A and B are shown apart, each in its own frame.
Chain A
Amino acid sequence: DAGVTQSPTHLIKTRGQQVTLRCSPKSGHDTVSWYQQALGQGPQFIFQYYEEEERQRGNFPDRFSGHQFPNYSSELNVNALLLGDSALYLCASSLVGEEKLFFGSGTQLSVL
């Protein structure tokens, strides 16, 4: 089991562009959460998907949206990129209701 996989590992975009990040959960997991980790900060919760629906959402603007597919994989989309969106984006998977999260290695997004 490869665990949680994320792609791409690195991405460079310019302000105003749109980006899509992808995540495949650990085998057997049905819930995917996305976190943003700015430099020097802890991960900050963006949203969580379960049964293809957004279950919970953190304090992020509507520019951040997501999707979960029937195979439980997920995408994070960010529109109208700002310089402040530069961060490491982490995907974490779990079984619904379970407390233990399994994290991917992240996608490092740089917005120029």
Chain B
Amino acid sequence: AQRVTQPEKLLSVFKGAPVELKCNYSYSGSPELFWYVQYSRQRLQLLLRHISRESIKGFTADLNKGETSFHLKKPFAQEEDSAMYYCALRINSGYSTLTFGKGTMLLVSP
């Protein structure tokens, strides 16, 4: 069965420091990977999808099939980036069902 692993429960950095939130997946086929984010008192929302190769709010993520990873990166963290980040995997194109990791709390201090 497919699995998503986010090894860090909490990542604490100072404003302006680089950020890397780790995500590894296990799936033998061709997955689609996503990052969802939940800011304080807000709903879970889509941040990035690997297929579009976009940069959102300064965040980027590259799918590395060799390492089965989809790490989320930002060169300079901002306080407003503090949130819960979930990596998610979709294996059935045509179905929007996702397998989520346990999430990483990013805390950016001034």
Contacts and interface: CB of A to CB of B under 8 A. Distances in A.
Interface string B73-110: 00000000000001010101111111111110000000
Contacts of B57: none
Interface string B2-31: 001010000000000000000000000000
A60 B90 CA distance: 18
A61 interface: no
A99 B44 contact: no
Nearest to A100: B46
B100 A44 contact: yes
A99 B90 contact: yes
Contacts of A42: 4, 6, 86, 88, 100-103
Interface residues of A, number: 28
Interface stretch (A15-23, A67-75, A78-86, A90-98): A90-98
A102 B46 CA distance: 8
B91 to A, nearest CB: 11
B55 interface: no
Interface of B: 4, 6, 32, 34, 43-46, 49, 51, 86, 88, 90, 92-103
26 contacts: A4-B43, A31-B96, A41-B102, A42-B4, A42-B86, A42-B100, A42-B102, A42-B103, A43-B98, A45-B98, A48-B95, A48-B97, A56-B97, A58-B97, A90-B44, A92-B96, A96-B94, A97-B93, A97-B96, A99-B32, A99-B34, A99-B90, A100-B46, A100-B49, A101-B46, A101-B96
